């Protein structure tokens, strides 16, 4: 079976949990009214399910490979990429000024979701390109923008983020790649980079690397890092790619999953003269530029949790409907039923579906926030939206990707022994999913970001704003008898989350290690409760539509998943509070030596 | 880094949580006193870490392959297997009468743990053989025992369990392989089997298949199933293997993990005459024979959760100690520390270590129960021990294997990007671990077994006996100030588990679907709480030893892991109660068709 874009839930979440209508009233987004978007998503759904999804398995089997120093992608990828560019999906939500479609970021997220569900490894190429685009838009010179933006936005070229080095993974301050200034204002880059996603490909005639490097005499640590534009092929006066720059792909990693995505070790300046690079933004501002790229990428990676969860769910459901085995209590020994009829299997499927819905709603409200942050008419709205996006981004990245691994694992389990056989495809989701908690800042780093930087924003006012919104939803649930249990659980969830938040805010200044030690359980708790809030809103929205338009079994199913999530899934996270408040001392009671004995 | 047998924790758990001393007082086990066992485990530890562990990665890379219809194992396996047999580890805990070492099952479990941590895929071959041995001991004729047992016990031959068919996975009653009786009392077997673990190898000159098949006119369902001994090579009058039987390996599965273990599709009777088979036990008793094999195998598979968890932990710890990155609050930008010093990393490591200890203690008390069930002097003790083993077996199988996947996943996370690169080895643990929740009865089936068959045993008296033991430990914790928080949590845990149990016992007769729907969350809850009980006992035992013999930082670390487990890990399961009591109706509110829209 192949991926079917879940367009009905997508549109429901866009219009009735997030608010596409209000987004389309923002300055410059007037053409993105719900009806137009709906037609466009039909088309996108067809494209990604028909053109991109069929390449998912072949990409896994063949992988990208290195031949004579250049990346060769799996069969069919090059042709599919060309169609992707031609049909305009590459820049759908990017500025029209640079050849994009000018759609809301919210719609861009949906298109990315479709791409990632269809073929996660493939989707990383445009995702990384987008990071470079955002940096160029924000801090590029007009000349740099003219040279690169239109090519990148339309997908004619692709981009990379060159950050990690052998000795420096999450620790950017430790990196050692050198950038030597030249008299003509350019720089020469020397150094090694690893884990460069889509560091090369055979789709386009250029690849634009954004490279973090250290200028001579730059201060130690992150303040000494600058960002450079380093094209694979030098760009001539007419904007065309010419001779090769002094950089090369040294090797590709042999990875657990996302085999189609070439993860490159890169070498700059091996030729002796150094790779020609152009300073992007200010000297020493490499880190802040990188965060421009990373914030978008973090939401994009969070999306992978949902995308894999959805793909895994569809595959598992399809198997559970087809596969006959066992019987129900009371049936004859000779009877058999489809396994979807077994309560335990049904629990797995409903768990997958409900978490997927919760993730989708979370991603869409955050994406809406990005549009508001960029385009709301008044500054206060932009600021409020931006703060909410900043607060929720680490939750999106880490909670969704942790759930993605979990759901892919359940997806295998639904298949039984067949799930462990690679031909089935369930195992690929499991393997692919496992990178997402690691890259773009490990989930541990996300949790620390949430606790140490995000919940203290505005002296706790930003997180309080979220709690107020949850409390409002709890209030709205009153009087809905069928949602009573959900409401009580959401009340408990909010209580637990408040207690955890207050604990962390209280200890972090005096004893930051206590807060750091509680960060990961706190993030899991926050993700589950925020998910509960949105699933309750989803159930309420469905009931409202039914009240207006009459019975509809699909809408009724949103009430069921909302209830199931709040009644049975969300509470599984409440026990994380013990870890949030648990003593850091206990963690350090045992020395590293003793841990090994 | 390579696997180092955690002998100190193993012996502590053997002697101070389980009770090896009392096991060695059972009839026939007098030679297995703690000192002798300690010496023997030193030796076993050396063997598995030095001879078997180095083949883990090569086994993963090369995998077993099929050549001219015969399985060829990865480089080094054949030689290592020969050493394994020569050194007597194959039958260490099997009856001396058949060439075994006559050690307690409890010690056999430790040896299996070492094997599985060193090389899970390899360990499956002796594990499956052992299942066949148990069936032959229990229901084989004297002649069958003479022909096969010594060869299997010493490892000169290996055995398989031929159960699954293309149309029948967990549903044994649906299988269709035929056994046609012959005038000489033998049978001819015709049919296809799939997922046959180590269905062939190049280690030994014979493989003994135990095959489930249906005799003509047998009743439908499981009562029509019989078990047959089907040797790969016919055994001549002198007991030597001769001409080939009419069976063959058709193909090997391409799996997510355990690549060294050949998972065979087998065909019996392709040659036309049928494979010669000998009825094992009574006609129609195939299922009960299979459960003899399976019960041992279920404990062995549960062990894989621990074994993978331990291997993954050691690898992650080693990386965390070596890898320098980032700095602690207050350090300079130019400083860097080993990542083991970061609270979030330390949390991951202590989580892995504590769960591993909990699983090890659970496995060992169950293994002790198996020895008592077999050898206690009075029938009442045998019966009580047997009932406790029966109750805990599904928890061992399912909880430990779910935790194994979880810990292997954390192991990758500790490594960051390196964890996703196959060369590191962390990814292999993750891939290998994922089969264990599936085979030997999926974890969903274990949960149903626990709820529908095990907790009702003796009208609830068996599970009540467990609760009484937990309550006794809670009582013992009183007066230990440092274990106060652990005690309070264990009290909560017991309450939650009681509530869940009572709910299930109350609903199961009237509405079995309600109980079936709560089975999986109940098993997770039970596993966590039983783990807490044993980790509390472990902490108490360590404190007692310190009180007697003076301070010891290693023993003090058992108090820390006991506290960490009870204070911060166990409570994460309490929220599963909502799933246990959650309405089954909610699961079935959405039709399969709607689930797909």
> pLDDT tens track of chain A, all 597 residues?
489 999 999 999 999 999 999 999 999 999 999 999 999 999 999 999 999 999 999 999 999 999 999 999 999 999 999 999 999 999 999 999 999 999 999 999 999 999 999 999 999 999 999 999 999 999 999 999 999 999 999 999 999 999 999 877 667 778 899 999 999 999 999 999 999 999 999 999 999 999 999 999 999 888 999 999 999 999 999 999 999 999 999 999 999 999 999 999 999 999 999 999 999 999 999 999 998 888 889 999 999 999 999 999 999 999 999 998 888 877 777 778 999 999 999 999 999 999 999 999 999 999 999 999 999 999 999 999 999 999 999 999 999 999 999 999 999 999 999 999 999 999 999 999 999 999 999 999 999 999 999 999 999 999 999 999 999 999 999 999 999 999 999 999 999 999 999 999 999 999 999 999 999 999 999 999 999 999 999 999 999 999 999 999 999 999 999 999 999 999 999 999 999 999 888 999 999 999 998
Is A431 within 8 Å of B431 when comparing Cβ atoms? yes
Pairs across A and B, CB distance < 8 A: 291
Q: How many Cα atoms sit within 13 Å of B410 on the Cβ side?
A: 27
Collapsing DSSP states into helix, strand and coil, what is residue A552?
Answer: coil
Is A346 within 8 Å of B168 when comparing Cβ atoms? no
Tell whether A567 is within 8 A of chain B (Cβ).
yes
Is A255 within 8 Å of B342 when comparing Cβ atoms? no
Nearest Cα residue to A522 out of B312, B358, B313, B347:
B347
Report the DSSP beta bridge partners of residue B162: B211
Instruction: Centre a 10 Å sphere on the Cβ of residue B324 and count the other Cβ atoms it contains.
Output: 17
**CA distance readout (Å), B340 to A414, A522, A594, B321, B416:** 36, 20, 12, 6, 13
What is the per-residue pLDDT for B582?
A: 92
Asked whether residue B73 carries a pLDDT value surpassing 90, the answer given is yes
Tell whether B284 is within 8 A of chain A (Cβ).
no
**CA distance readout (Å), A129 to A133, A134, A260, A289, A308:** 6, 9, 16, 14, 21
Is B571 within 8 Å of A575 when comparing Cβ atoms? yes
Helix axes A484-507, A553-564, angle to 10 degrees: 40
For residues B322 and A166, the answer to whether their CB atoms sit within 8 Å is no
CA dihedral A158, A164, A165, A167 (to 10 degrees): -170
Q: Retrieve residue B30's tokens.
A: 């007098």
Report the DSSP beta bridge partners of residue B70: B67
Domains of chain B: 7-153 (1.10.540.10), 158-285 (2.40.110.20), 452-585 (no CATH)
How far does B158 lie from chain A, in Å, by closest CA? 23
Q: Who among A345, A575, A586 is closest to B564 (CB)?
A: A586
How far does B1 lie from chain A, in Å, by closest CA? 12
- Between positions 250 and 269 of B, the ones with CB within 8 A of A are 253-257
Is A174 within 8 Å of B336 when comparing Cβ atoms? yes
Report the DSSP beta bridge partners of residue B278: B229
Q: Who among A321, A444, A582 is closest to B344 (CB)?
A: A444
What is the per-residue pLDDT for A169?
A: 64
Instruction: Centre a 10 Å sphere on the Cβ of residue A303 and count the other Cβ atoms it contains.
Output: 31
The catalytic site residues of B sit at 440
Q: Retrieve residue A19's tokens.
A: 């608010």
Tell whether A309 is within 8 A of chain B (Cβ).
no
Q: Who among B435, B567, B597 is closest to A582 (CB)?
A: B567
Tell whether B575 is within 8 A of chain A (Cβ).
yes
Nearest CA in chain A to B489: A578
Asked whether residue B120 carries a pLDDT value surpassing 60, the answer given is yes
Q: How many Cα atoms sit within 13 Å of A548 on the Cβ side?
A: 7
Is B595 within 8 Å of A564 when comparing Cβ atoms? no
Tell whether A355 is within 8 A of chain B (Cβ).
no
Give percent above pLDDT 70 in chain B.
99
Is B350 within 8 Å of A563 when comparing Cβ atoms? no
User: Per residue in A422-460, is it b (16+ CB within 10 Å) or e — as a string?
Assistant: bebbbbbbbbbbbbbbbbbbbbbbbbbbbbbebbbeeee
> What would the pLDDT profile of B247-260 be if each residue is shown by its tens digit?
999 999 999 999 99
Is B170 within 8 Å of A326 when comparing Cβ atoms? yes
What is the per-residue pLDDT for B391?
A: 98
Chain A residues with CB-CB distance to B490 below 8 A: none
Tell whether B196 is within 8 A of chain A (Cβ).
no
Chain A residues with CB-CB distance to B522 below 8 A: none
Nearest CA in chain B to A597: B6
Q: Who among A437, A567, A578 is closest to B413 (CB)?
A: A437
What is the per-residue pLDDT for B294?
A: 85
The catalytic site residues of A sit at 440
Is A592 within 8 Å of B340 when comparing Cβ atoms? yes
**Distance between CA atoms of residues B69 and B54, nearest Å:** 28
Nearest Cα residue to A152 out of A303, A293, A361, A5:
A293
Collapsing DSSP states into helix, strand and coil, what is residue B110?
Answer: helix
> Phi and psi dihedrals of A276, rounded to 5?
-70, 130
- Between positions 206 and 245 of B, the ones with CB within 8 A of A are 220-223
Region B281-309: what's the mean pLDDT?
Answer: 93
- Work out the widest C-alpha separation in chain B, in whole angstroms: 87
What is the per-residue pLDDT for B111?
A: 98
Within A283-342, residue ranges assigned H as helices are: 286-322
Q: Retrieve residue A341's tokens.
A: 């009829």
For residues A126 and A155, the answer to whether their CB atoms sit within 8 Å is yes
How far does A594 lie from chain B, in Å, by closest CA? 7
Chain B residues with CB-CB distance to A499 below 8 A: none
What is the per-residue pLDDT for A167?
A: 75
What is the per-residue pLDDT for B222?
A: 86
Asked whether residue B141 carries a pLDDT value surpassing 70, the answer given is yes
Tell whether B13 is within 8 A of chain A (Cβ).
no
CA angle B126, B131, B136 (to 5 degrees): 120
What is the per-residue pLDDT for B169?
A: 64
Nearest Cα residue to B90 out of B123, B136, B43:
B123
Q: What's CA B19's distance to the chain center, in Å?
A: 20
Tell whether A489 is within 8 A of chain B (Cβ).
yes
């Amino acid at each position: 079976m192949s991926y079917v874009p879940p367009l009905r839930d997508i549109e429901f979440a866009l219009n009735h949990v997030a608010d596409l209508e209000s987004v389309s009233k923002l300055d410059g987004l007037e053409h993105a009214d719900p009806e137009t978007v709906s037609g466009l998503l039909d088309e996108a759904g067809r494209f990604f399910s028909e053109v991109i999804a069929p390449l998912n398995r072949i990409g896994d089997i063949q992988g990208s490979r290195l031949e004579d120093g250049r990346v060769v992608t799996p069969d069919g990828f090059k042709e599919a990429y060309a169609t992707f560019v031609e049909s305009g999906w590459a820049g759908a939500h990017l500025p029209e000024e640079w050849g994009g479609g000018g759609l809301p970021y919210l719609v861009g997220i949906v298109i990315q979701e479709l791409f990632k569900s269809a073929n996660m490894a493939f989707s990383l190429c445009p995702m990384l390109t987008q990071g470079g685009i955002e940096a160029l838009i924000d801090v590029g010179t007009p000349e740099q923008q003219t040279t690169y933006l239109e090519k990148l936005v339309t997908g004619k070229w692709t981009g990379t983020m060159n950050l990690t080095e052998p000795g420096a993974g999450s620790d950017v301050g430790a990196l050692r790649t050198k950038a030597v200034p030249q008299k003509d204002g350019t720089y020469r880059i020397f150094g090694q980079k690893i884990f460069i996603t889509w560091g090369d490909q055979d789709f386009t005639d250029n690849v634009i690397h954004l490279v973090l490097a250290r200028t001579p005499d730059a201060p130690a640590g992150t303040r000494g890092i600058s960002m450079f534009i380093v094209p694979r092929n030098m760009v001539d006066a007419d904007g065309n790619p010419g001779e090769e720059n002094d950089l090369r792909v040294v090797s590709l990693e042999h990875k657990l999953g996302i085999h189609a995505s070439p993860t490159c070790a890169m070498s700059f300046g091996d030729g002796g003269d150094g790779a020609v690079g152009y300073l992007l933004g200010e000297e020493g501002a490499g880190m802040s530029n990188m965060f421009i790229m990373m914030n978008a990428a973090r939401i994009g990676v969070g999306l992978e949790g949902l995308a894999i969860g959805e793909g895994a769910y569809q595959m598992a459901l399809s198997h559970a409907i087809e596969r006959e085995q066992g019987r129900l209590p009371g049936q004859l020994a000779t009877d058999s039923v489809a396994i979807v009829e077994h309560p335990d299997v049904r629990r797995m499927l409903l768990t997958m579906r409900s978490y997927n819905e919760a993730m989708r709603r979370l991603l869409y409200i955050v994406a809406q926030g990005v549009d508001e942050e960029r385009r709301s008419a008044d500054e206060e709205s932009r600021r409020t939206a931006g703060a909410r996006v900043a607060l929720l981004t680490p939750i999106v990245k880490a909670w969704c990707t942790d759930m993605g691994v979990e759901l892919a694992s359940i997806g295998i389990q639904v298949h039984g022994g067949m799930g462990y056989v690679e031909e089935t495809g369930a195992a690929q989701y499991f393997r692919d999913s496992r990178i997402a908690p690691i890259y773009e800042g490990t989930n541990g780093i996300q949790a620390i970001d949430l606790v140490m930087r995000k919940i203290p924003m505005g002296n706790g006012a930003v997180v309080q704003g979220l709690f107020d919104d949850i409390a409002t939803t709890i209030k709205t649930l009153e009087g809905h008898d069928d949602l009573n249990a959900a409401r009580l659980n959401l009340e408990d969830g909010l209580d637990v989350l408040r207690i955890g938040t207050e604990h962390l805010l209280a200890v972090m200044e005096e004893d930051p290690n206590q807060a750091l030690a509680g960060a990961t359980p706190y993030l899991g708790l926050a993700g589950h409760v925020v998910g509960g809030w949105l699933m309750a809103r989803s159930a309420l929205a469905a009931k409202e539509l039914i009240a207006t338009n009459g019975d509809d079994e699909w809408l009724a199913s949103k009430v069921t998943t909302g209830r199931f999530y709040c009644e049975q899934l969300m509470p599984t996270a409440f026990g994380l509070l013990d870890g949030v408040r648990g003593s850091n001392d206990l963690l350090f009671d045992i020395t590293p030596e003793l841990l090994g004995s």
